[in-house]
């Protein structure tokens, strides 16, 4: 697996929240409330998942606490709690080694070689739904 506290916490958070990598990357150390056992994730543009506070299950709290401690020890290195912009490949590698995979598209919608894991399928699906919603509710330009 991984010995990196931030990647371990990101993988745990992905499991109990089901959110996209894009949204995991929004978490800062102050977004985990140990006393309330909650994690706030943000999506100010509401492009994929929207902002939400998630209840952290008991098994995942140790991972979030370790990530917060790591962030406090290395504040100049990174302000991200779960994932930085360059962590996607590392996080996917850790998930693949653990055989943790996101929901996959139906057989008729799969692209690429057979058996290939599509890591961003859910994110793309949500983005397409959001774009369609914006298109439907566009206000026509005034003359």
Q: Would 97 be classed as within a structural domain? A: yes
Helix 5-17 to helix 88-97 angle, to the nearest 10 degrees?
Answer: 70
Number of domains in the chain: 1
What sign does the CA torsion over 76, 79, 82, 86 have? negative
What does the buried/exposed string (b/e) look like for 40-52 if buried means 16 or more CB atoms within 10 Å of the residue's CB? ebebeeeebbeee
Q: Would 141 be classed as within a structural domain? A: no
Residue numbers in the chain where pLDDT is lower than 70: 1-2, 44-50, 75-78, 101-105, 112-124, 126-127, 130, 134, 137-143
Residue-range definition of the domain harbouring residue 80:
5-104+116-136
Return the half-sphere exposure (C-beta side, CA atoms, 13 A cut-off) of residue 50.
Answer: 4
Q: Would 76 be classed as within a structural domain? A: yes
Q: Would 109 be classed as within a structural domain? A: no
């Amino acid at each position: 697996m991984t010995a990196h506290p931030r990647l371990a916490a990101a993988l745990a958070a992905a499991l109990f929240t089901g959110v996209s990598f894009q949204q995991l990357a929004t978490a800062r150390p102050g977004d985990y409330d140990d006393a309330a056992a909650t994690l706030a994730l943000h999506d100010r543009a509401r492009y994929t998942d929207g902002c939400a506070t998630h209840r952290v299950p008991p098994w995942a709290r140790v991972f979030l606490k370790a990530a917060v401690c790591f962030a406090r020890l290395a504040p100049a290195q990174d302000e991200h709690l779960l994932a930085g912009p360059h962590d996607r490949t590392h996080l996917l590698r850790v998930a693949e080694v653990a055989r943790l995979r996101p929901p996959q598209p139906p057989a008729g919608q799969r692209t690429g070689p057979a058996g290939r894991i599509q890591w961003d399928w859910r994110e793309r699906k949500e983005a397409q739904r959001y774009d369609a919603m914006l298109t439907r509710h566009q206000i026509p330009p005034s003359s």
